[in-house]
């Protein structure tokens, strides 16, 4: 009986040692992981990009515009859910200057083109097949959206599906559209 009790204590000690080693290795790996390559906090300048549209023409982040920059994928149910209200937001505020840019992280452009046609997306759709631009923005959940002011600064970072025609969103967009770019930004664009 005594030998059995000693074996159980020895076995328990070994398991604790194994669990301790696993925890130590896991902690070491976690601490050595690199930071996200990019992160767009409120007030940060939006990162420029060069991505193809659905015709293959390269597009960059517009300057001096109010922008809704949305990262999404065709395989993402919450992304699909917010598209109709995003289209409504576009229809209401594009004439006043709102630019909506939907950046898809889908791998295949054929899937993307079919989806855009099916959902009748009236705004600009760009293709980030390797996810490089999404990573520069620190995006890893879909959808994620950024409201960018005329100075190119991130005003809001929204994670998850958004009801784009809600009162809080439309008031924010209207307020952003009323503001002009700062004179500092105007000089940078001109110079």
* 92 plus 180 within the same structural domain: yes
* 83 plus 148 within the same structural domain: yes
* 63 plus 7 within the same structural domain: no
* 96 plus 174 within the same structural domain: yes
pLDDT of residue 133: 95
* 162 plus 70 within the same structural domain: yes
Exposed, middle or buried by CB within 10 Å (0-12, 13-18, 19+), for 183? exposed
pLDDT at 105 over 90: yes
* 56 plus 1 within the same structural domain: no
pLDDT at 186 over 60: no
Residues in the chain: 191
Does the residue 183 lie in any domain? Answer: yes
Q: How far is CA 179 from CA 12, 96, 138, in A?
A: 67, 12, 27
Q: Strand, coil or helix: what is 157?
A: strand
Does the residue 42 lie in any domain? Answer: no
CB 179 within 8 A of CB 95: no
Domain that holds residue 185: 50-190
Burial 113-140 (b: 16+ CB within 10 A, else e): eebbeeeebebbbbbbeebebbebbbbe
* 26 plus 109 within the same structural domain: no
Specify the higher pLDDT residue, 65 or 27: 65
Does the residue 45 lie in any domain? Answer: no
* 17 plus 57 within the same structural domain: no
Does the residue 19 lie in any domain? Answer: yes
CATH number of the domain where residue 136 is located: 3.40.30.10
Burial 164-175 (b: 16+ CB within 10 A, else e): beeeebeeebee
Convert the pLDDT of each residue in 132-183 to its tens digit: 999 999 998 899 999 999 999 999 999 999 999 999 999 999 999 998 877 4
* 6 plus 88 within the same structural domain: no
Q: How many domains does the chain have?
A: 2
* 26 plus 82 within the same structural domain: no
* 27 plus 68 within the same structural domain: no
pLDDT at 38 over 90: no
* 13 plus 72 within the same structural domain: no
Taking residues 62-70, report their average pLDDT.
Answer: 96
pLDDT of residue 17: 82
């Amino acid at each position: 009986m005594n030998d059995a009790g000693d074996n159980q204590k020895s076995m328990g000690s070994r398991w604790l040692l194994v669990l301790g080693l696993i925890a130590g290795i896991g902690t070491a790996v976690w601490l050595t992981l690199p930071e996200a390559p990019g992160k767009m906090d409120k007030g940060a300048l939006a990162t420029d990009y060069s991505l193809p549209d659905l015709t293959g023409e390269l597009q960059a982040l517009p300057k001096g515009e109010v922008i809704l920059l949305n990262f999404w994928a065709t395989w993402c149910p919450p992304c699909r859910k917010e598209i109709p209200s995003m289209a409504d937001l576009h229809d209401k505020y594009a004439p006043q200057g709102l630019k909506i840019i939907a950046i898809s992280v889908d791998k295949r452009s054929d899937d993307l083109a079919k989806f855009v046609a099916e959902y009748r997306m009236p705004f600009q759709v760009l293709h980030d097949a390797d996810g490089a631009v999404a990573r520069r923005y620190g995006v890893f959940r879909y959808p994620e959206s950024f409201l960018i002011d005329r100075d190119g600064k991130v005003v809001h970072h929204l994670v998850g599906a958004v009801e784009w025609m809600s009162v809080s969103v439309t008031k924010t967009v209207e307020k952003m559209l009323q503001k002009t770019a700062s004179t500092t930004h105007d000089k940078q664009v001109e110079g």
